[in-house]
């Protein structure tokens, strides 16, 4: 019955793609085995290299096939249908490629292959080729399996980008599946319009290249566990680690810039779980890079280096699990949907922990016991359940075994490090990075902790992160500033303190000069205890940040004599300190200028409630907002975006408001995602004025359709001489006229007509007269309305109260009278450009350091 | 390496300290009845919009106040005062997380997280 002959399907593409998928998996598995065997039998090496090359080509093949399908709109494939359509701009086709999970895993695999190929050439015939490439190939086995999309029993392994739409489990019984020519009538669902910007084209590939580069130090560390050469890999791995620090760092900051420019996070960093998940591996990688330098220059911190190199990659895997498994649920604005790969991702993380621990154990009986017990536990939990308890038992025992192995098998330093030595202070810095990573990981993992322990803790808010991180950053800044002036091994403390005291005094002076007006002049006296502490810590951060900048400039100019080749670390550290100073000022002195004047004091509810941060702007009105006067002038629609134009005015020298600039904040009225507000920002050298819409009427047509309808009537009671206010005029009850006197009416029992004379004066002081009438005939009241067309007002005079002589009039306004309005929020971010300058400086410094390390490595090799 | 060992122990102690301190202050997920019994403690309450009750948002009076009612996961409906402007697409929300506390007879929220059903996952193949 299901023998429908479909017309126009290009099944060859799917077969080709699937062929590459299977080939990439099998060749990775083969390469891994062959590399492993060639550790003892070098004969396998040629085969292993060949298999890895085949793997690389097949991954390129997968990517090329998928790209071809997207480019030519093969909507019979679910991935193409879901992420693209015929109307979209072809420049976003790359974004479609990695919008979905399968595509982003593919991107990751692709970068691994690129790095693997380069590394394979670099290490060829050296002592590291075999063990490092074994690890590389093993990771590729796991990643390649993510694209398999096959079922083993009920377990689904991977998710395949070449699945046909009509075979997708969600759609396979829809009516279109029975139509042979469905394809001719099918259009894709299209790329999410929120992602149609240039950040989506550059941010994911950069970030994934960063993720991929954490694999290199990981592979070396595992390789060293395997062959016991703990000190011989750092020189090779160091430029690569710097490369990872650079690319991952740039990738993360691009995400921040994207959030700042195009999303309404209200800043560049929101401690969102997805952001944290990429920040933590970066912090750990930075720590690893620093301990590697210690290894190279002095020895020591060996175990820490291995631990950090492994942790950085495992944290990338863990963050993939966090963001891809759906465990974050409502905790994140990103949160991807669950593709049913949670189990697989957890298993991968655990497998690599298992391999690391097993290799660390050097006693073969001990190792076999660990392996056997681990597998027994795995089978036990698969068959009998108790997954959480088994998992915790295994993690605890693995930790204990790691500690024991460290004491039993790992080479240790004989001599203790001097207190005043560069290696000790660098190590302290690494520890601070580790501790902050631990805390961020813990906060981010609260949803996981809830799952494991059946608790119901809520994820912390942004200020919690800030409060915890500031003290660590202060310590880091001091270390960054001072450490360069310490020598390896030992430094005379007196000389050291004298050397750094100049820059410290300079920083203290400038820091206080700046932070007194920033933090102490206005805020400090009114602040409560907690806030006082915050202000002190901000100003400490400011001073130590300046110290880090000054000290590194000093080091570069005075000690390195301004040489560029050696300046990498000094420049990168200046950049990092500037970045944090920029982040500090722009965040802590961010001011909300859109304060409203509703005067409703809700501060009694607590600090978090003292908001009143939005401002209502009615079209045409001009309101004061911070140092500006603002006017909402109107809206226009372009595609799915509605643009709201806001003019900013500033008093000119004569005190008259003059046009300064205008911002077009827009709201995307997105059929797939709902509406989303995108901020508009006016950039200045020393500040950004940032505005976004929090509430607005997006539709244009309702106003037009109801142009002639009147809104609900409002009743007014008053005397002659009173005034009624409409939205566009005021209405004065001028006088009442009657056709008869009261006596005549009672005598004749005839018609009584009372006319209200209403003077309606509009905003241009133009007067219109309305004559609504009140008619009584034989005790029946007939009100006669009057409409002022020019003002869109309907007035009905319907009651006279004989007791107090008041009259009652209802007034209704045309719906088109009610003017359009928007509710906005506006912030000023001072000195945010310091942050971007810091990013740039840090990237330049890191590039210089990479070049220098590569040069040193080549020199070392050639001698 | 003694100095380092002491440092290591200090670090671990500090990390454990952080965890305990933060757990004490962390807000937890709860329902309205729990929030009612601890009026001034902050909670995350998960629920759905109560469509039978009125919603009041008049930016002319206060652009940072929005009144509506939410039914929590136990089925209890409470009036909520959100001290923020009315979120776009509020009607479409499938699930709401309110962050705030009980005060008087209302639940006062200073933040809201909404889950919309359309996110990332809507639309079936349609032929035209």
Q: What is the CATH number of the domain that holds B58?
A: 2.40.50.140
Residues of chain A found within 8 Å of residue B12, distances taken between Cβ atoms: none
Confidence bin at A638 (pLDDT 50/70/90): confident
Mean pLDDT of A423-451: 90
* H-assigned helices in B1-128: 2-25, 32-37
Confidence bin at A1 (pLDDT 50/70/90): very low
- Mark yes or no for CB contact A171/B125 under 8 Å: yes
Q: List B residues 70-109 in contact with A (Cβ-Cβ < 8 A).
A: 83-89, 92, 95, 97, 99-101, 103, 108
- Mark yes or no for CB contact B116/A674 under 8 Å: yes
Distance from CA of B54 to the nearest CA of A (A): 18
In a mutational test of the B interface, the residue from A332, A423, A436, A614 whose CB has the highest number of chain B CBs within 10 Å is: A614
Tokens of A576: 């990092």
Highest mean pLDDT among A173-177, A643-647, A805-809, B112-116: A643-647
Q: Is residue B15 part of a domain?
A: no
Highest mean pLDDT among A165-174, A273-282, A673-682: A273-282
pLDDT of residue B6: 80
Q: Is residue B72 part of a domain?
A: yes
Confidence bin at B120 (pLDDT 50/70/90): very low
- Mark yes or no for CB contact B116/A428 under 8 Å: no
Q: Is residue B39 part of a domain?
A: yes
Residue of B nearest to A336 (CA): B120
Give every CB contact of residue A589 below 8 A, 6+ residues apart in sequence: A518, A830, A831
The Cα-based distances of A857 to A122, A270, B68, B115 in angstroms read 12, 39, 66, 52
Residues of chain A found within 8 Å of residue B61, distances taken between Cβ atoms: 598
Poorest-pLDDT segment among A86-90, A410-414, A570-574, B72-76: A410-414
pLDDT of residue B118: 47
Give every CB contact of residue A207 below 8 A, 6+ residues apart in sequence: A248, A251, A252, A254, A255, A278
Mean pLDDT of A123-129: 91
Measured CA to CA, the distance from residue A577 to residue A640 in angstroms comes to: 41
Poorest-pLDDT segment among A235-239, A248-252, A771-775: A771-775
CB A711 within 8 A of CB A813: yes
User: What is the residue-averaged pLDDT of chain A?
Assistant: 87
- Total structural domains within chain B: 1
* H-assigned helices in A653-748: 701-705, 742-748
Mean pLDDT of A423-448: 91
**Between residues A609 and A29, the one the model is more confident about:** A29
pLDDT of residue A628: 92
The Cα-based distances of B47 to A462, B29, B88, B113, B122 in angstroms read 23, 11, 18, 11, 22
Asked if the model's pLDDT at residue A305 lies above 90, the reply is yes
Tokens of A295: 């290894």
In a mutational test of the A interface, the residue from B7, B15, B20, B59 whose CB has the highest number of chain A CBs within 10 Å is: B59
Residues of chain A found within 8 Å of residue B127, distances taken between Cβ atoms: 176, 179, 182, 185-186
Which candidate from B19, B119, B124 shows the least CB-CB separation from A171?
B124
Domain, as residue range, for B100: 29-115
Tens digit of each residue's pLDDT (9 = 90 or more) over A558-593: 888 888 888 999 999 999 999 999 999 999 888 889
Distance from CA of A696 to the nearest CA of B (A): 8
**Any CB–CB contact under 8 A between B5 and chain A?**
no
- Mark yes or no for CB contact B123/A442 under 8 Å: no
ipTM here = 0.87
Q: Is residue B14 part of a domain?
A: no
Measured CA to CA, the distance from residue A652 to residue A661 in angstroms comes to: 13
Distance from CA of B21 to the nearest CA of A (A): 11
Tens digit of each residue's pLDDT (9 = 90 or more) over A146-161: 999 888 877 778 889 9
The backbone region for A625, taken as left when phi is positive above 0, alpha when psi lies in -120 to 50, beta otherwise, is beta
Which candidate from B42, B85, B108 shows the least CB-CB separation from A695?
B85
Residues of chain B found within 8 Å of residue A446, distances taken between Cβ atoms: 26
Tens digit of each residue's pLDDT (9 = 90 or more) over A387-432: 888 888 999 999 999 999 988 888 877 677 788 889 889 999 999 9
Q: Is residue B9 part of a domain?
A: no
Taking the CB of residue A515, how many other CB atoms lie within 10 A of it?
22
Distance from CA of B47 to the nearest CA of A (A): 12
- Mark yes or no for CB contact B60/A460 under 8 Å: no
Q: List the Cα angle A652/A655/A656 in 5-degree steps.
A: 75
Q: Is residue B67 part of a domain?
A: yes
Distance from CA of A302 to the nearest CA of B (A): 12
Residues of chain B found within 8 Å of residue A445, distances taken between Cβ atoms: none
Place of tokens 């500031």: A470
Q: Is residue B104 part of a domain?
A: yes
Asked if the model's pLDDT at residue B39 lies above 90, the reply is no
Measured CA to CA, the distance from residue A589 to residue A519 in angstroms comes to: 9
Q: List B residues 10-29 in contact with A (Cβ-Cβ < 8 A).
A: 11, 14-15, 18-19, 22-23, 25-29
Tens digit of each residue's pLDDT (9 = 90 or more) over A289-299: 999 999 988 88
Mean pLDDT of A759-787: 83
User: What is the residue-averaged pLDDT of chain B?
Assistant: 82
Which candidate from B2, B19, B27 shows the least CB-CB separation from A458?
B27
- Mark yes or no for CB contact A186/B127 under 8 Å: yes
Of all residues in chain A, the percent with pLDDT exceeding 90 is 43
CA count, 13 A, side-chain hemisphere, A74: 21
pLDDT of residue B119: 44
Which candidate from A435, A457, A672 shows the least CB-CB separation from B28?
A457
Handedness of CA A462, A468, A469, A473 (dihedral sign): positive
Which candidate from A438, A460, A609 shows the least CB-CB separation from B22?
A460
Mean pLDDT of A785-811: 85
Confidence bin at A608 (pLDDT 50/70/90): low
* H-assigned helices in A76-214: 78-83, 93-99, 101-123, 129-145, 198-213
Give every CB contact of residue A59 below 8 A, 6+ residues apart in sequence: A20, A24, A106, A109, A110, A113, A144
Instruction: Give the residue from A84, A54, A61, A85 showing the smallest Cα distance to A13.
Output: A61
Which candidate from B11, B115, B123 shows the least CB-CB separation from A672?
B123
Burial zone of A562 (CB within 10 Å; 0-12 exposed, 13-18 middle, 19+ buried): exposed
Instruction: Give the residue from A819, A818, A810 showing the smallest Cα distance to A713.
Output: A810
Which candidate from A176, A189, A417 shows the least CB-CB separation from B127?
A176
Distance from CA of A464 to the nearest CA of B (A): 9
DSSP state at residue A818: S
Measured CA to CA, the distance from residue A524 to residue A535 in angstroms comes to: 7
Distance from CA of B64 to the nearest CA of A (A): 6
Poorest-pLDDT segment among A202-206, A357-361, A417-421, B20-24: B20-24
Which candidate from B14, B25, B43 shows the least CB-CB separation from A435?
B14
Tens digit of each residue's pLDDT (9 = 90 or more) over A488-521: 888 888 888 998 999 999 999 999 988 888 887 7
Distance from CA of B45 to the nearest CA of A (A): 10
Asked if the model's pLDDT at residue B122 lies above 60, the reply is no
- Mark yes or no for CB contact A598/B29 under 8 Å: no
Beta-sheet pairing, A793-801 with A806-813: antiparallel
Confidence bin at A676 (pLDDT 50/70/90): confident
């Amino acid at each position: 019955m299901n023998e429908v002959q479909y017309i126009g399907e290009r099944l060859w593409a799917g077969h080709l793609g699937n062929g590459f998928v299977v080939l990439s998996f099998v060749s990775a598995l083969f390469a891994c085995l062959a590399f492993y065997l060639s550790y003892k039998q070098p004969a396998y090496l040629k085969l292993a290299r060949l298999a890895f090359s085949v793997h690389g080509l097949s991954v390129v093949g997968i990517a090329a096939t998928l790209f071809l399908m997207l480019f030519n709109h093969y909507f019979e494939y679910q991935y193409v249908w879901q992420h693209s359509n015929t109307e979209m701009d072809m420049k976003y086709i790359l974004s479609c490629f990695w919008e979905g999970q399968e595509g982003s895993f593919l991107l990751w695999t692709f970068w691994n292959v690129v790095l693997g190929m380069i590394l394979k050439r670099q290490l060829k015939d050296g002592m590291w080729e075999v063990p490092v490439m074994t690890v590389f190939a093993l990771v590729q086995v796991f990643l390649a399996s993510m694209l398999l999309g096959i079922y083993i029993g009920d377990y689904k392994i991977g998710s395949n980008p070449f699945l046909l739409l009509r075979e997708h489990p969600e759609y396979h019984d829809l009516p279109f599946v029975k139509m042979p020519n469905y394809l001719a009538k099918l259009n894709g669902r299209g790329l999410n319009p929120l992602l149609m910007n240039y950040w989506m084209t550059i941010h994911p590939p950069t970030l994934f290249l960063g993720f991929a580069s954490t694999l290199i130090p990981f592979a070396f560390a595992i390789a060293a566990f395997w062959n016991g050469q703990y000190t011989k890999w750092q020189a090779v791995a160091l430029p690569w680690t710097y490369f990872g620090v650079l690319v991952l760092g740039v990738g993360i900051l691009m995400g921040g810039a994207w959030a700042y420019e195009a999303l309404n996070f209200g800043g560049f960093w929101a401690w969102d779980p997805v952001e944290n998940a990429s920040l933590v591996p970066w912090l750990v990688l930075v720590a690893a890079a620093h301990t590697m330098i210690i290894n190279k220059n002095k020895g020591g911190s060996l175990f820490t280096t291995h631990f950090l190199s492994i942790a950085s990659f495992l944290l990338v895997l863990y963050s993939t699990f966090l963001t891809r498994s759906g465990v974050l649920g409502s905790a994140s604005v990103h949160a991807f949907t669950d593709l049913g790969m949670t189990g697989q991702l957890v298993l991968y993380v655990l497998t690599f922990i298992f391999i690391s621990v097993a290799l660390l154990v050097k006693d073969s009986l001990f190792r076999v016991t660990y392996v056997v017990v681990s597998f027994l536990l795995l089978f036990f939990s698969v068959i009998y359940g108790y997954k959480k308890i088994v998992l915790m038992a295994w993690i605890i025992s693995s930790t204990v075994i790691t500690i024991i192995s460290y004491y039993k098998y790992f080479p240790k330093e004989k001599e203790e490090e001097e207190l005043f030595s560069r290696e000790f202070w660098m190590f302290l810095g690494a520890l601070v990075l580790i501790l902050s990573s631990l805390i961020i990981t813990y906060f981010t993992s609260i949803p996981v902790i809830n799952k494991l322990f059946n608790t119901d803790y809520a994820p912390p808010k942004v200020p919690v992160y800030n409060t915890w991180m500031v003290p660590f950053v202060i310590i880091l800044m001091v270390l960054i500033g001072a450490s360069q002036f310490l020598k390896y091994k030992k430094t005379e403390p007196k000389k050291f303190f004298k050397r750094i005291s100049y820059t410290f005094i300079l920083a203290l002076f400038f820091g206080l000069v700046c932070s007194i007006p920033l933090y102490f002049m206005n805020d400090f006296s009114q602040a409560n205890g907690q806030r006082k502490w915050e202000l002190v810590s901000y100003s400490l951060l400011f001073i130590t940040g300046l110290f880090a900048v000054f000290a590194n400039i000093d080091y570069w100019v005075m000690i390195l004599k301004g040489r560029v080749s050696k300046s990498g670390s000094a420049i990168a550290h200046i950049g990092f300190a500037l970045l944090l100073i920029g982040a500090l000022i722009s965040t802590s002195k961010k001011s909300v200028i859109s304060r409203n004047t509703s005067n409703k004091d809700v501060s009694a509810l607590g600090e978090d409630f003292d908001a009143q941060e939005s401002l209502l702007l009615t079209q045409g009105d001009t309101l004061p907002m911070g140092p500006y006067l603002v006017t909402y002038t109107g809206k226009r629609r372009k595609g799915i975006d509605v643009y709201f134009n806001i003019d900013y005015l500033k008093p000119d020298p004569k005190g008259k408001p003059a046009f300064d600039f205008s911002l077009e904040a827009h709201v995307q009225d997105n059929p797939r995602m709902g509406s989303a507000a995108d901020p508009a920002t006016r950039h200045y050298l020393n500040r950004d004025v940032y505005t976004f819409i929090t509430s607005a009427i997006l539709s244009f047509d309702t106003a037009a359709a109801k142009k002639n309808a009147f809104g609900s009537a409002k009743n007014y009671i008053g005397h002659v001489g009173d005034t009624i206010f409409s939205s566009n005029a005021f209405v004065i009850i001028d006088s009442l006229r009657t056709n008869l006197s009261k006596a005549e009416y009672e005598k004749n029992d005839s018609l009584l007509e009372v006319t209200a004379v209403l003077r309606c004066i509009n905003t241009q002081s133009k007067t219109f007269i309305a004559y609504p009438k009140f008619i009584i005939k034989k005790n029946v009241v007939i009100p006669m309305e009057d409409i002022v067309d020019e003002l869109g007002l309907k007035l009905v005079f319907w009651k006279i109260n004989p007791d107090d002589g008041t009259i009652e009039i209802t007034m209704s306004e045309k719906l088109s009278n009610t003017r359009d309005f928007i509710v906005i929020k506006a912030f000023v971010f001072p000195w945010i450009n310091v942050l971007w300058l810091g990013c740039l400086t840090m990237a330049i410094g890191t590039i210089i350091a990479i070049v220098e390390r590569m040069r040193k490595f080549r020199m070392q090799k050639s001698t | 390496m003694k100095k380092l060992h002491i440092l290591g122990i200090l670090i671990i102690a500090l990390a454990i300290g952080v965890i305990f301190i933060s757990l004490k202050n962390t807000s937890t997920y709860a329902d309205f009845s729990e929030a009612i019994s601890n009026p001034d403690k902050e909670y995350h309450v998960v629920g759905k919009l109560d469509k039978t009750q009125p919603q009041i948002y008049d930016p002319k009076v206060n652009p940072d106040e929005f009144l509506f009612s939410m039914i929590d996961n136990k089925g209890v409906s409470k009036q909520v005062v959100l001290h923020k402007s009315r979120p776009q697409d509020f009607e479409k929300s499938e699930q709401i997380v309110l962050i705030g506390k009980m005060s008087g007879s209302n639940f006062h929220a200073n933040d809201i997280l909404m889950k919309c059903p359309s996110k990332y996952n809507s639309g079936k193949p349609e032929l035209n």
